[in-house]
Amino acid sequence: MFLIPKGSWRLSIRARLFILLLILTILPFLAYRFAIDLHRILLNNQAIVQQQTVENLALILENRTDLWALQIQSGMPTRLSHLNLNNSVLWVVNELGQTTYVVGKLPPLADPSAEGFFVAIGKLLIKTFATFLPYSLPYPYPQSPQPEITLIQHSLNGQTLQQYRMDASRNPVSLMSATPLMVQNRIIGSLVLEQRMETLFSESLDYFYRLIGIAATLFFIVMVGAIVHTASLSNRIIRLDEDVKKTFDLKGRLTQLDFPDQRNRMYQDELSDLRHHIYEMLKQLGAYERYLKQLPKTLRHELHNPLNRLSMALTLLEKETQNQQLIYAQHAVVQLKQIIASLSEATSIEDSLQSQQPESFPIGLMLRHYIENIVLLHPEYQIESHLHIDEQTQVLGDGFMIEQMMDKLLSNANDFTDRQMPIQIRAQRIGNVLELSVENSGPLLPSGHERQIFDGMTSMRAINQDQQAHLGLGLYIVKLIVDFHRGKVHAENSQFDYRGKRLQGVSFKIRLPIERIER
């Protein structure tokens, strides 16, 4: 079974709707094929009818010549009931091939301007399709500029034959049928009947052309309306998507709410309702986000004085009496201060990053000085460093923020290390990217938590593991700083070889883009 990668066959709503409309364009071609088949049926039927008419006339003249003589003597040959001589011509030819009698008349060529609007549209469509499609109108008999010569010759030889007369543009204009005229089993001449193409089909074909014209007009109106509606709907969805994107910055944080509640008031439908609901949701989300941003400052301001008074009271009580519960209470006050400090730190760093302008600094030199200082300040960390980068490797950002990032990573590594190997700090250049990693042996990350640990208020520590308050903001601050430097951070479970021992632990890898290298 072949699996299609997610997103590899993504089609927009506009593309799918236009594909549907493109499929619907098959309908005119089906109508054209239907028109061609109808032409063939009508032509065959009319040709058979005309052939039978001329054969019946010849049979009548053979058996009842008195009727024919009476018609001639009366001077009204059009009273023949077998055909309408107002729309056709009947030739009587003798055995020498000479025309001895002509009765009837052909109507003038039809004036296209006299046709109805939809009839003209139907004919125009059929002719247009026949121009560029390799499927011509089906005329079942040969065509000739002067078919009467061939017809008379064959009919005097005892054959019944039909041909089309062609005009200067080589288009059929009439159908001619010829049959032998016999008396007492002897050919004494022939009968030739000619009829215009437009009268062959009477009004049935005009009805069909009118139907094609009306259907084509309706189809055109529906297609134009569908295209306009599709484009409008797609544009409204695109505008909605762009307005939502503008509401958030590159880090996914809600910026100043500038999302229009209504864009086009001529539309009042489900999409306008969706825009309104998104507007209400973003407004509530913005208010909630502002509340969360102000919460640490409010807590720090509102709890600072009560905590100080409580701490002083506990200190005074501790001098007057010795009680284990006072120690617990004092420790609880310290934990509350740590919680407020952690919340304030995350908020202040986030605010600082928003106002900070990134500058180019040598991260290689900064890391070397930082590691020298951290080894002196925190010997309990047991750090080993492996810096394989030039000291003048430049990164666009802020060196002080990078130091804070390293503080959080090393503190996290020290909390989870099992002390079987020192904390490893590695730095190397891979192309135009600086890869910085902090590794520690110890417990592995739970499956599926490799990304979750960088979210705020997420901690993998056991409750009261070290009797200190942990809000899960350390790695959240790391993510904020890495995003500010246009980098990426991820954690993964790893296997380490240290002095012949096979150890397991966690590795944090940070990838930062290098600006330039100066020597």
pLDDT in tens, 400-440: 888 888 988 998 899 889 889 999 999 999 989 999 999 99
pLDDT in tens, 176-212: 889 888 887 888 888 888 888 777 665 666 777 787 7
Average confidence score pLDDT of the chain: 76
What is the token pair recorded at 169? 């543009």
Is the entire prediction scored with pTM above 0.85? no
208-to-103, 132, 140, 495 alpha-carbon distances in Å = 32, 22, 20, 81
pLDDT in tens, 465-498: 444 545 567 788 888 888 888 899 989 999 888 8
What is the token pair recorded at 208? 């069909």
pLDDT value for 4: 43
pLDDT in tens, 268-290: 777 778 888 888 888 888 777 77
Share of the chain above pLDDT 90, in %: 7
What long-range pairs does 220-223 form, CB within 8 A, spacing at least 24? Answer: 223/21, 223/24, 223/25
Q: Are the CB atoms for 267 and 229 separated by under 8 Å?
A: no
Q: Are the CB atoms for 426 and 434 separated by under 8 Å?
A: no
> What are residue 446's phi and psi, to 5 degrees?
-60, 145
d(CA 261, CA 258): 9
* Site of tokens 């064959």: 154
| Of 103, 26, 38, nearest in space to 72 by CA | 103
d(CA 202, CA 206): 8
Beta bridge partners of 183: 186
DSSP per-residue letters across 228-285: HHHHHHHHHHHHHHHHHHHHB-TTS-B-S----S-S-TT--SHHHHHHHHHHHHHHHH
Q: Are the CB atoms for 233 and 13 separated by under 8 Å?
A: yes
d(CA 503, CA 495): 6
d(CA 208, CA 202): 11
Share of the chain above pLDDT 70, in %: 70
